[in-house]
Structure 1
Amino acid sequence: MARIGVFLPNWVGDVVMATPALGGLWQRFSDRATLVGIMRPYVAEVLAGSRWFHEQVVGERRGLAGLCALAARLRRLRLDTVLLFTNSFSTALLARLSGAGRRVGFSRDGRGWLLTDRLNAPRVGRDYLPRSAVAHYLDVVGVLGCDTGFRPLELATTVEDEAEADALWARFGWRAGDKVAVLNTGAAHGAAKTWPDEHFTALARWLATTRQLRVLLICGPAERRAVAEICRQADHPFVKSLADQESRIGLSKACVRRGSLMVTTDSGPRHFAAAFDVPCITLFGPTDPEWSDNYNRRAIDLSLDLPCAPCAKRTCPLGHHRCMRELTVEMVAAAVTQLMERSGTSTDLPGRWHAAERR
């Protein structure tokens, strides 16, 4: 039986956007090949509970020693084919060192000579055209004849994830039928993608008082202090956070899955909402929504129509951060109202708004 290895992306959101491609791969090869996922530990947390692989290789590959150790481990697996969802030179080198006879990926960053099947991303001159990562990963598995038609993002939770969420709900005094708005303040790309904490505070208070929703702020280790302060400033018994919980991706997944609504920056957890079919509002500033479109029709993407946006910078090069600062709480509240009114119907939601056009 053939052995197919898959190098998974290194970003949480990208991993979730890869699930349609993983679904196509599983559909075609689950009974005719051994599928091996090659991933970092936190990626394994994102995919925990899912069925995509028969085997997993989980580990870090920092430095030359880590690279050599992983290459030796992969050679022992005797892979026939390797699919690269990553674009880095180092993973292409690992694929070559694995001994796999067929190596499929995008030819970029000078790594084309390491691949046997080279794909080219659309570009104009030196610039790559904005295109969803979902389509990017489907292109890779399409080389092996997998179905590249539309399929939604998909995740699962584990029994342990749900038990931890049950305990959290009980501690908060929440019941299973309570409507919960999940707020995600983090942004791994940098400060430019963040929405001001005072905006999140006002939104949390409005959701709790005006909409009578329970509000849960999820966070990673880097956001704990800020999230705890948002919760304190909101000063409402319905507003809670994960600031005092051990940071576990599985718990965040379980919390989002239970949500009635999510409001989030352009960061990985927003794709949890798409995977669990939870209505979602994403706040965009410096990033182009086309790159991370997850085809969630129960979603609204909010952005301002500014001449400087999207700049794709980690910090605002002009120093004013208007693209996020001027996305007002009132704009987000209006989107919440429309999303909640229509999310219970079969009607598709509008998908993308320039918030400035709705003032």
Structure 2
Amino acid sequence: MPEAQQAPRRILIVGPSWVGDMVMAQSLFKVLKAAGPCEIDVLAPEWSLPILARMPEVSRGVVMPVGHGKLELGVRWKLGQSLGTVGYDQAIVLPNSLKSAMIPAFAGIPQRTGFRGEMRYFLINDMRMLSKRRLPMTVQRFVALGKGINQPLPDPLPWPRLVADAANQRTLPDKLGLSMERPAIAFMPGAEYGPAKQWPLPHFASLAAELVERGFQVWILGSGKDQEAADIIASDQEAHVINLCGRTELGDAVDLLALSRAAVTNDSGLMHVAAALDLPQIAIFGSSTPQHTPPLSDRAHVIYLGIECSPCFKRTCPLGHTRCLTEIAPQRVLAALDQLGVTT
């Protein structure tokens, strides 16, 4: 059959379990699409489906019915048998766990690609060795699995680019009671990993007050776990600092970010969402480092002090001072927004 008439390859991606990693996986999808006609399905947690729906490269999101960290071997076997009828040519397993490699093997997918990870030699038959020195960034590791062994990565890498849902954007302001008279700056004060990645709430509140004084409104985005923190930031400024934490689905947060003028965020999943929308943002790093998971956008300004104890990668500061974050003053973040042309 001539190449032009060949059916597209069917590829199943076993996706990651974190918002930021799922966003960065879009770079892999772009590389696969650039290599030739293919249909990409992504096996992923249900929460990630709104993210996948905003990736043009993804044909279908397949819900992973097993919770993170759970084995449930029978459920995995049943899903593998079901997926085996699709006729996938290749599976690419992004997580490094043993469990994540089971379903593609149960499905009988002929080529199953992944890094060595846990003891999964019989499950992954296209095994790759991970060099953290050669591939220091998470996005590089994902893209490398879409290339042949030892093949060079594209230079530059294609960055994630989400497409907002325009229909949802038209209804969200009324649904949430938002005024569009003032331009909005989005704050993302949460960090699922732990407080050692969270810029101090009084700093967020001080910055919010200054932005309101300059004629902006602030939308605070996050999960229900971030509601209390957002209340502290919005205290005494509720007219123009709006706590949306827990009031939106993930897809809504994506579409609200796309309506915003800019974002101020910790190193979090929503930081990567903002980058993938090419939104001007200030990304604040503390216990982690931008060398590993930076926001993939030319419009992102990273603030990272790199003090003597950073990065520690701890959930809470082992020294008890969190200087890597407390010493980033609100005025420095405001100046960075000025440099991006957001507030001037």
TM-score range, shorter chain: 0.7 to 0.9
2:222 is matched with which residue?
219
Counterpart-to-counterpart distance in 2, 1:160 and 1:74: 32
- Pair 1:135 & 2:152 matched: no
Q: For residues 268-287 of structure 1, what are the structure 2 equivalents within 5 Å? A: 268-287=269-288
Counterpart-to-counterpart distance in 1, 2:246 and 2:88: 43
Q: Unmatched 5+ residue regions in structure 1?
A: 345-359
The structure 1 residue matched to 2:117, chosen from 108, 111, 124, is 108
Change (3 A) 1:311 1:244: closer
Counterpart-to-counterpart distance in 2, 1:5 and 1:146: 23
- Pair 1:80 & 2:89 matched: yes
Counterpart-to-counterpart distance in 1, 2:65 and 2:324: 35
Change (3 A) 1:130 1:192: farther
**Alignment RMSD:** 2.5
Q: Which amino acid aligns with 1:266?
A: D
- Pair 1:4 & 2:4 matched: no
2:266 is matched with which residue?
265
Counterpart-to-counterpart distance in 2, 1:146 and 1:228: 48
TM-score w.r.t. the length of structure 2 is: 0.87
Q: For residues 308-327 of structure 1, what are the structure 2 equivalents within 5 Å? A: 308-327=309-328
The answer to which of 53-62 and 268-277 deviates more is: 53-62
Q: For residues 108-187 of structure 1, what are the structure 2 equivalents within 5 Å? A: 108-123=117-132, 131-143=136-148, 148-149=154-155, 150-167=157-174, 171-175=177-181, 178-187=182-191
| 1:274-300: CA deviation from partner (whole Å, max 9, x where unpaired) | 111111111101111111124311111
SS in 1 for 2:291: helix
Shift in Å at residue 130 of structure 1?
7.0
Structure (1 or 2) with the greater helix fraction: 1
Give yes or no for contact 2:289–2:304 (8 Å, CA) kept in 1.
Answer: no
TM-score w.r.t. the length of structure 1 is: 0.84
Q: Aligned pair count? A: 331
Change (3 A) 1:319 1:129: farther
Q: Unmatched 5+ residue regions in structure 2?
A: 1-6
SS in 2 for 1:172: coil
Shift in Å at residue 53 of structure 1?
2.9
Question: Which aligned segments of 4 or more residues in structure 1 are displaced greater than 6 angstroms?
Answer: 144-147
Query: Taking every aligned residue pair, what percent have the same amino acid on both sides?
Result: 26
| 1:84-117: CA deviation from partner (whole Å, max 9, x where unpaired) | 1222221122222221111111112333443222
Q: Which amino acid aligns with 2:41?
A: V
Counterpart-to-counterpart distance in 2, 1:337 and 1:240: 22
The structure 2 residue matched to 1:231, chosen from 231, 234, 252, is 234
| 1:259-312: CA deviation from partner (whole Å, max 9, x where unpaired) | 111100000111122111111111101111111124311111112231111001
Q: Which amino acid aligns with 2:271?
A: R
1:256 is matched with which residue?
257
Counterpart-to-counterpart distance in 2, 1:221 and 1:243: 5
Give yes or no for contact 1:24–1:147 (8 Å, CA) kept in 2.
Answer: no
Counterpart-to-counterpart distance in 1, 2:50 and 2:35: 24
Counterpart-to-counterpart distance in 1, 2:289 and 2:65: 30
